[in-house]
């Protein structure tokens, strides 16, 4: 279910402009009702993103991010592609492993091995993919992140009732296979249970109670995974693209009720609680669009302020949901999406003595600011060799950057394993994307060769 609901404000932003926050989308009626942010469903929605669905699908429908609703519908049926993703097909074949990259036999045996002296290579996994994609995972990755299973709504759907089963299964898989585990995410405006911000009688929870709930959640969760999860995204997406804090003055799905009720001090309190629960864990602030100058400066200022106050922050996560090329639209956020701007973010954050990790890497085929509809959604047939090469070149230039900063980058994690299971294809519109290193059949793409070809 959740898988079908993509939420993606981010996405929408990525795809067109994200000014107006939006909310929730989602697939089918299921959610229909939902509401506000906090609901489970919503959750999905919101977030970073939201609209994916729609958006995605769509056209620019909402320029904003809109909800999927709209968008989604628009493309309904669209994608003809719906199943394309699972059917396998095209993708792999030609592409593949063989040697597209032009690397003779000295080629690396696998991805994580190739990067062993640089940084761990991770993948986001879900409650199925760690099994269905186990062969790829074990061969090419040495770190995992739970895509949804460690989010607030997953771990504490009802107050004080913690459900760790799904997350534990993923962690056990990682431990068994000697992989590192990043925890994601303790405090976020999205994917929260409805009770969290409610006083139980129709009103908003008090500041004191919400602070207690937040600390209680962090304390329980971080202690539960202590010794197994080495790094946590403690606070996710607290800043806006103009460098200001994400507040409560945004649409459902985009607003931060944490900030609305607690003010910006929730950020420091979250880090302190996580550190108290596991003094050995590396604590990260995680966000998207780090390539936007105003946003990276805002994040820098916030982190500097936290460090000056002695708050235990150890690193910054760059989500890095990228596109095959930057937007050509000067007002689009993704206009700034280039290596030089990403380098500036790494320089800024590391100048504070912080580690940097790439936490959610993928490279979408869709270009922000361009309008797509069901007839222009990519399919395995239209994901041509030329496009595969272009995606590979984009991966190559970003990995060159990551390797250049190997002394401060302590991990690079992809948001998924192979193109048959990516949040970017979770649109009700049927829009499919092919953003990872392995194709629908789990064969390496030219992008893989580009990443290991150095």
Contact with ligand XIL (CB under 6 A): which of 17, 42, 48, 443? 48
CB of 118 to ligand XIL, least distance (A): 24
Is 5 a residue that touches ligand XIL (CB under 6 A)?
Answer: yes
Coil vs helix vs strand at 408: coil
Is 410 a residue that touches ligand XIL (CB under 6 A)?
Answer: no
Let me know: does 345 contact 31? Beta carbons within 8 Å. no
Applying CB under 6 A, which part among 45-53, 251-259, 332-340, 386-394 lies near ligand XIL?
Answer: 45-53
How far is residue 313 from each of residues 57, 159, 174, 229, 231, measured CA to CA in Å? Answer: 37, 27, 25, 16, 11
Let me know: does 320 contact 276? Beta carbons within 8 Å. no
Structure tokens at 448: 């893989």
Let me know: does 207 contact 158? Beta carbons within 8 Å. no
| Active-site choice (147, 237, 269, 344) | 237
The DSSP-derived string for 112-169 is HHHTTTT--EEEEE-TTHHHHTHHHHHHH-SEEEESSTTSHHHH-SBTTB---HHHHH
Cα–Cα distance, 418 to 421 (Å, whole number): 6
DSSP class of residue 31 equals G
Let me know: does 374 contact 429? Beta carbons within 8 Å. yes
Is 360 a residue that touches ligand XIL (CB under 6 A)?
Answer: yes
Per-residue binding string, ligand XIL, 138-157, x by CB under 6 A, is ---------xx---------
CB of 281 to ligand XIL, least distance (A): 18
Per-residue binding string, ligand XIL, 319-358, x by CB under 6 A, is x---------------------------------------
Is 6 a residue that touches ligand XIL (CB under 6 A)?
Answer: yes
Let me know: does 241 contact 193? Beta carbons within 8 Å. no
Nearer to ligand XIL, 257 or 396 (CB): 257
Nearer to ligand XIL, 426 or 449 (CB): 426
Applying CB under 6 A, which part among 4-12, 240-248, 273-281, 331-339 lies near ligand XIL?
Answer: 4-12
Nearer to ligand XIL, 3 or 403 (CB): 3
Nearer to ligand XIL, 34 or 100 (CB): 34
Let me know: does 259 contact 250? Beta carbons within 8 Å. no
Q: Which residues are catalytic?
A: 237, 360
Binding site for ligand XIL (CB under 6 A): 2-3, 5-7, 10, 44, 47-49, 147-148, 185, 236, 319, 360, 423
């Amino acid at each position: 279910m959740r898988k079908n609901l993509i939420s993606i404000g981010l996405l929408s932003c990525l795809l067109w402009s994200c000014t107006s926050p939006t909310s929730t989308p989602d697939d089918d009626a299921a959610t229909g009702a939902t509401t506000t942010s906090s609901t489970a469903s919503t959750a999905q929605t919101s977030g970073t993103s939201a609209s994916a669905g729609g958006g995605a699908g769509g056209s620019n429908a909402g320029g904003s991010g809109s909800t999927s609703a709209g968008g989604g519908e628009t493309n309904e049926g669209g994608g003809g592609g719906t199943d394309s993703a699972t059917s396998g097909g095209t993708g792999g074949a030609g592409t593949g492993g063989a040697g597209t990259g032009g690397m003779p036999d000295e080629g690396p045996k696998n991805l994580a091995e190739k990067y062993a002296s640089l940084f761990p290579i991770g993948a986001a996994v879900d409650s199925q993919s760690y099994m269905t994609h186990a062969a790829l995972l074990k061969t090419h990755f040495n770190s995992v992140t739970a895509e949804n299973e460690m989010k607030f709504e997953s771990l504490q759907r009802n107050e004080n009732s913690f459900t760790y089963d799904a997350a534990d299964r993923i962690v056990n898989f990682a431990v068994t296979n000697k992989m590192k585990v990043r925890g994601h995410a303790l405090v976020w405006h999205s994917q929260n249970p409805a009770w969290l911000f409610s006083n139980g009688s129709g009103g908003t929870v008090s500041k004191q109670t919400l602070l207690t709930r937040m600390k209680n959640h962090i304390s329980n969760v971080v202690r539960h995974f202590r010794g197994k999860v080495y790094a946590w995204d403690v606070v996710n997406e607290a800043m806006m693209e103009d460098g200001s804090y994400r507040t409560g003055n945004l649409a459902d799905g985009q607003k931060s009720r944490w900030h609305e009720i607690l003010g910006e001090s929730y950020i420091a309190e979250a880090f302190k609680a996580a550190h108290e629960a596991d003094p050995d864990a590396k604590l990260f602030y995680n966000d998207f669009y780090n390539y936007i100058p105003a946003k990276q400066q805002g994040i820098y200022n916030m982190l500097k302020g936290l460090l000056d106050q002695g708050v235990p922050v150890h690193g910054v996560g760059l989500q890095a949901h990228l596109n095959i090329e930057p937007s050509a639209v000067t007002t689009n956020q993704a206009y700034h999406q280039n290596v030089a701007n990403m380098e500036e973010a790494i320089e800024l954050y590391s100048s504070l003595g912080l580690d940097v990790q790439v936490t959610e890497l993928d490279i979408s085929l869709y270009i922000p600011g361009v309008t797509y509809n069901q007839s222009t959604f990519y399919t395995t047939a239209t994901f041509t060799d030329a496009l595969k090469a272009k995606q590979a070149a984009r991966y190559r230039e970003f990995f060159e950057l990551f390797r250049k900063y190997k002394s401060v980058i302590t991990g690079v994690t992809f948001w998924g394993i192979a193109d048959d299971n990516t949040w970017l294809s979770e649109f009700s519109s049927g829009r499919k994307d092919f953003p990872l290193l392995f194709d629908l059949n789990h064969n390496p793409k030219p992008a893989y060769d580009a990443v290991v070809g150095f």
